[in-house]
Amino acid sequence: MSVCLVTAPTAAEFGDENEITSEVVRRVTLEPQLGILSLAAVLELRGDDLRIVDLNRSYFHIADSCGTSKLGDFAEVAATVIAAKEAHVYGFSSICSSYPLTIRIAQALKAIRPHCTILFGGPQASVVDIQTLSAFPFVDLVLRGEAEETLPVLVDALMEREQLDRVPGLTYRSKGQPRRTPNAAVIKDLDALPTPAYHLTGELRGAPRATLEMGRGCPFSCTFCSTNDFFRRNFRLRSPERILHDMRSLAVAYGVSDFDLIHDMFTVDKRRVVVFCKAMIASGEKFTWACSARTDCVDEELLELMAEAGCQGLFFGIETGSARMQRIIDKHLDIRRAKEIIDAAEQLRIGTTVSLITGFPEETREDLMETVRVLMHSARCPRSDPQLNLLAPLPETPIYLKYKNQLTLETLCSDVSHQGEWQSDNDIELIRKYPEIFPSFYLLPTPHLNRNLLLELREFSLMGVEHFRWLLVSLDQVTGGILDFFCEWRQTRLHLHPSFDGFELRRYYRTATFRTDFLHFVRHHFASKEPAVEAFLEYEDAIRVAPHWDGAATSSGTPLSPGATLWWTDIPVMKKQCRVVELACDIEEVINALEQQTQPAPSRGLRLYVTREISSGTQSLEMISDWVAGVLRACDGNRSIEQVLKELSYELQYVEEDVREYVFVRLLEAVHADGFIEIYRIDSGNMVS
Amino acid sequence: MPPRVIKVKVPSGAKHEEITKAVNAKLTRRATSLLRKTDEIVLSIFVFERAQPTVEKKAKKSSQK
């Protein structure tokens, strides 16, 4: 019996051209899906006849080869791709965000292969199993929960045409009605599972990092979280030896040395974290890793050990800054302590993601203000990334069960379920028809808060922190807080673009128009007179007016490597993305003051800086000297080295004439070696002697 | 016509040291912690997923969740 496993089509929530081509969208959605690869490894080990379809890869392949217009009917195209694998059983992974599309793909597949068995698994199908089988006759089976042990039992039962009621954790039809067999026991020994079959999909080739499963199960019971429905509350960890073994294998096979250790709550048991860290240190390996943690499950001492063991990133789900809401959602974090832990991680140079949620039915403006305070505390730490998310009512969670009769469908929903700028009409139709299957696309009532304001606050905070982190921090410090400031800004936004709503609003916050509008608003706000705010406005202005070159003038030339012998006729050009800017303040001093929540000391005087791209979408700022700034500015791609030297004679006039050439060439070679400029050699036929 | 290769006269002795020192001082850079982000698409990540070192763009919905 042949089995074809199909990944969740998570890329399909991104359908616009700019999203499809976005480097971050590609990287994120093309990461290996551990669940399906773990099952594939089990079947492969048994010698089953196995195929696998990576729908995200198919999605981008179609977008790249046929254009985004073909993506509208991706369900049909995907079904054709899957059907070509010719299997008896098609097993679909599922998560909430792509569940409507998974359903539609399965329907199209069943139309092509009416005699195949359609099997669903994964977190979403596991909790809406009965509803799924009731609503969609083309779905034959749902295998609930962890399936590494139950999938082989099911495959054998299907092969031998045995009764399905002996397969644990299965939801099937009997006399036309959905029935459940008892839940399967959780898998106690995770070390006994084979390494996920990374080799079956190509994602890790050339990848900067790999995901590794650290363990399963969370003992906590937060009211909004669905993890216990899938992994149960039985906390399990893989052994340090096994993790190290897999890290080493992946390092050899794919060259990765940075790992995301996947576990809902790795740090629950401090003693075991210590054992893991000590094993990492003792191994002598220089692997780096990131994991999730609760701020009440780590302390400064443990963080120090984790940093020494290679930890470079922590995900903290803090959810709400309100002590009252912490109790209501059963999270029970001490917010003061949470802030101390964020600071401690910052001191240890561990990056943090601080995740917050708004949109709880009980949440008041005071609660929201406390949450935004935590968001700004995170923003004040350079290595911390705050994010504010809308609450998604995940099926069967306590919060869903309490409010399931009050769900509201808006154009925008929680980012847990959808982050794209576009949503398929076919998906929307399904979501509207079956709220009990797709509740995460709905919102809960927020009687004390304006929901449109919350939806916009999410977009504003995400893009605002991304583009104007320190400007927002300075505004937060000198005004009554960023939430009030946002409300003022929103009034202006409503005046400027009154019709913007839903996806149009999301798109707006991603554009330069938002950035221009917002800076204009801040410039005319009384807070703009405050030194810290003024400093960042000046920075934005300087960036806007600074000339930069795209290298087009020298596109026909050959770039020279640093250290190459230069000709006077070679053309130096400042790299794309580089800009030289002048500021009247020391921007680092201003940032230091904001980090300490103090007023920046007055320190006026011309400072020169250069920006350059240090990674995709991120530019650094470095203070440089007047000489280096002069060299970079003169390298506009229209002048030869000889002409640039003439241009610079004014800058270097206080250098004695007999050594001026030497000084200039040293500077030029150094900025070339440092990667600020390219030097091109134009076709020698055009060379001027 | 042969290319005009750049050949500059290197100052000698104490003058060379003095000039090298001056140029090196001018080449000294100081990194700031101000990062300029240019991405137009930023994604959230979720509790059941992961964290990453700072600076990296990040986001995804877990395959496990």
Q: Which of B32, B38, B62 sits opposite A617 (nearest CB)?
A: B38
Q: Is residue B13 part of a domain?
A: no
Closest approach of B48 to chain A, Cα-based (Å) = 5
Q: Check whether residue A248 and residue A146 sit in a common domain.
A: no
Q: Which structural domain range is residue A147 located in?
A: 2-180
In degrees rounded to 5, what are phi and psi of residue A385?
Answer: -115, 110
Q: So what's the pLDDT on residue A12?
A: 94
Q: Is residue B41 part of a domain?
A: yes
B7 close to A (CB below 8 A): no
The residue type of A483 is: L
Q: Check whether residue A145 and residue A270 sit in a common domain.
A: no
CB A453 within 8 A of CB A398: no
pLDDT tops 70 at residue B62: no
Q: Check whether residue A504 and residue A612 sit in a common domain.
A: no
- State the average pLDDT over residues A415-428: 93
A-chain residues near B10 (CB < 8 A): 662
pLDDT tops 80 at residue A686: no
Structure tokens at A186: 């959780």
Nearest CA in chain A to B63: A33
Q: So what's the pLDDT on residue B55?
A: 33
- Residue A312 sits in a domain of what CATH number? 3.20.20.70
pLDDT tops 60 at residue B58: no
Q: Is residue A368 part of a domain?
A: yes
A622/B30 CB distance under 8 A = yes
Q: Check whether residue A238 and residue A290 sit in a common domain.
A: yes
- State the average pLDDT over residues A164-181: 97
CB A85 within 8 A of CB A55: no
pLDDT tops 60 at residue B48: no
pLDDT tops 50 at residue B57: no
A588/B45 CB distance under 8 A = no
Q: Check whether residue A607 and residue A556 sit in a common domain.
A: yes
Q: Is residue A602 part of a domain?
A: yes
Using alpha carbons, select from A466, A456, A528, A451 the residue that is nearest to residue A494: A456
B6/A684 CB distance under 8 A = no
A23/B57 CB distance under 8 A = yes
Give the CA diameter of chain B: 69
Q: Which structural domain range is residue B53 located in?
A: 35-65
SS (H, E, C) A484-508: HHHHHHHHHHHHHCCCCCHHHHHHH
Regarding an ipTM greater than 0.85, the answer is no
- Residue A122 sits in a domain of what CATH number? 3.40.50.280
B-chain residues near A666 (CB < 8 A): 20, 23
- By three-state DSSP, how is residue A180 classified? strand
A-chain residues near B57 (CB < 8 A): 23-24, 27-28, 616-618
A-chain residues near B51 (CB < 8 A): 260, 290-292, 313-316, 351-353
Nearest CA in chain B to A317: B47
- State the average pLDDT over residues A463-480: 96
Using alpha carbons, select from A248, A256, A211, A215 the residue that is nearest to residue A232: A215
Q: Check whether residue A157 and residue A212 sit in a common domain.
A: no
Q: Which of A313, A591, A641 sits opposite B34 (nearest CB)?
A: A591
* Average confidence score pLDDT of chain A: 94
B33 close to A (CB below 8 A): yes
Number of domains composing chain B: 1
Measured CA to CA, the distance from residue A289 to residue A278 in angstroms comes to: 14
DSSP annotation of A563 reads: T
- State the average pLDDT over residues A608-614: 94
Q: Check whether residue A213 and residue A142 sit in a common domain.
A: no
- How many alpha carbons lie under 13 Å from residue A641 in its C-beta half-sphere? 27
Q: Tell me the per-residue pLDDT of A67-109, one tens digit each, with 9 for 90 and over.
A: 888 777 899 999 999 999 999 999 999 999 999 999 999 999 9
A34/B55 CB distance under 8 A = no
Q: So what's the pLDDT on residue B59?
A: 34
Q: So what's the pLDDT on residue A206?
A: 82
B52 close to A (CB below 8 A): yes
Q: Check whether residue A31 and residue A78 sit in a common domain.
A: yes
Last residue of a domain, one of A529, A553, A571: A529
Q: Is residue A411 part of a domain?
A: no
SS (H, E, C) A362-410: CCCHHHHHHHHHHHHHHHCCCCEEEEEEECCCCCCCHHHHHHHHHCECC
B-chain residues near A288 (CB < 8 A): 53
Q: Check whether residue A525 and residue A546 sit in a common domain.
A: no
- State the average pLDDT over residues B5-29: 91
Confidence of residue A201 (pLDDT cuts 50, 70, 90): confident
Confidence of residue B54 (pLDDT cuts 50, 70, 90): very low
Distance of CA B62 to the CA centre of its chain: 32
pLDDT tops 50 at residue A229: yes
- Where does A551-617 show beta strands of DSSP type E? 558-559, 571-574, 579-585, 604-615
Q: Check whether residue A145 and residue A219 sit in a common domain.
A: no
CB A504 within 8 A of CB A456: no
Q: Is residue A440 part of a domain?
A: no
pLDDT tops 60 at residue A552: no
Q: Check whether residue A167 and residue A67 sit in a common domain.
A: yes
Q: Which of B43, B51, B59 sits opposite A352 (nearest CB)?
A: B51
Q: What angle do CA A601, A606, A608 make, to 5 degrees?
A: 110
Q: Is residue A80 part of a domain?
A: yes
Q: Tell me the per-residue pLDDT of A353-368, one tens digit each, with 9 for 90 and over.
A: 999 999 999 999 999 9
Number of domains composing chain A: 4
Structure tokens at A53: 């379809």
Closest approach of B12 to chain A, Cα-based (Å) = 10
B34 close to A (CB below 8 A): yes
A618/B35 CB distance under 8 A = yes
Q: Tell me the per-residue pLDDT of A33-74, one tens digit each, with 9 for 90 and over.
A: 999 999 999 999 999 999 999 999 999 999 999 888 877 789
